[in-house]
Amino acid sequence: MESFAAYAPALASVAIFAVVVMLFSPLSAIQKGKQGLAPGAEPAADYSDLAYRLHRVFENGTDTLSIFVATAGVAILAGASPFWINLLAELTLASRLIMIFLHVAAVGNPHNGPRSFAYVGGWFCMLVMAILGLVALL
C-alpha cells in the first residue's frame, strides 16, 4: 500500500467521482418517476427538462468513470509521476464537477457552451494521464 500512498489525491479523485455518479442514479430516477416514466426509460431529449438533464449527468458520468479509472489506474500502476497524475486527476474531477453543475443548472447552450469546455478539459487531462502511463511503461 505504501507504493500507492503517493497517489492518494488521484485515488481520492476517482473515488469521489464514483460516489458523485452513484448519487445521480437515484436523483435521476426520482425525477423520471415524477414524469411517470418506467424504470430504465429515458426522458424526452429536452434540455429544459430537469429529468432529462439529470439523466444525462448520470449517463455522462457512467461513460466517463470507466475512462477515468482506466487512465488513472494505468498511470498509477505504471509508476508515472505522482505529481502529474495527482494534478491531472484532480483537474479531471474538477472539470466533471463543473460540468455537472452547469448541466443541472442548465447553464449555456446544449451544444458548444461552457459545459462542452469543461468536458474537453477533463477529456484532455485523461488523455495526458493515459500518455504518461504509456510512457512510464516503455
Domain 2-137 carries which CATH code? 1.20.120.550
Q: Tell me, letter by letter, the H, E, C secondary structure of 82-111.
A: HHHHHHHHHHHHHHHHHHHHHHHCCCCCCC
**pTM above threshold 0.75:** yes
Task: Note down pLDDT in tens along the chain; length 138 residues.
Answer: 677 899 999 999 999 999 999 999 999 999 999 999 888 889 999 988 999 999 999 999 999 999 999 999 999 999 999 999 999 999 999 999 999 999 899 888 777 888 889 999 999 999 999 999 999 999
